Amino acid sequence: MLFTFGATALAFSAAKCPGFIKHKRTSHNTILLYLRRLRIFVAALVVAIFVTGCGAPDGSANSGEPQKSDTSREEVSVGDTEAVVWGEGDRGVVLSHGASYDAASWEPQGRTLAENGVAALAVEDTSPENLQAAVEYLKEEHNVESVALIGASAGARPVLQVARETPEEVSQIILLSGVGDVSGLKEHPKLFVASEGEGIAEQVRRMTEEAPGDLNEALILPGDAHSQALFQTEGGERLMRAILERLEEYG
């Protein structure tokens, strides 16, 4: 195809410039050199157009498609327990499950967090030592800049202990159907969540008022669901949205 283009260009030059024909008769080698250079020029032009249009070898630069967050799932060892990690991001979350749950029970929430650029880690054994090890793991292995703690029901107590003992390691805490002594906490942002009918709504409101700091909030959802079952109610989307908004604002 390039040779045909060159021949056409040569014919056009001959028609427009009689002197060119004279030169052809006297220098056949010059014409061949001209055709070779023309082929090289056209080939370079085609490559330049291709690269400019694609922006990258796979065409991803100008594809117009949004970049998807990493939602990969990995099983790891943290402290003296097993754990599950979802996603990557600058922000991290350690998930402490309720008594009738396990680390894998956070799967839907872990994937949602990962889809929103948050690295989420759920531990199997929710001891304070393992939660602290999980915080360190996210910072060292995933290079997160901040780590929030989310504790559900029985998993709230170790969260409160870690927040009291190592406040500098924690950006905020979120408790789902969790109660406990908040007087020794620092001024972290705090979100206390319960359902209206589970019997601890008033205590959760009181904890919100008594906890140190001005960034505390109570979220009371309709129904009587407890712990991680809150995500499965009609208020589940509202709950997840509130968590994501606070992670976006406070890390």
Asked if 170 contacts 91 with a C-beta cutoff of 8 angstroms, the reply is no
pLDDT digits (tens, 9 = 90+) for 73-111: 999 999 999 999 999 999 999 999 999 999 999 999 999
The H or E element that residue 161 is part of is helix 156-165
Does an H or E element contain 141, and which? helix 128-141
pLDDT, tens digit (0-9, with 9 covering 90-100), for 54-78: 443 333 333 344 445 677 899 999 9
Residue range(s) in the chain whose domain bears CATH number 3.40.50.1820: 73-250
Contact call for residues 210 and 183 (beta carbons, < 8 A): yes
Task: Name which residue leads in pLDDT, 9 or 156.
Answer: 156
In this structure, are residues 62 and 54 in contact, taking their beta carbons and an 8 Å threshold? yes
What is the pLDDT at residue 104? 97
CATH class held by domain 73-250: alpha beta
pLDDT tens for each residue of 165-181: 999 999 999 999 999 99
Q: Are 180 and 152 in contact (CB under 8 A)?
A: no
> What confidence tens digit (pLDDT) does each residue in 199-214 have?
999 999 999 999 999 9
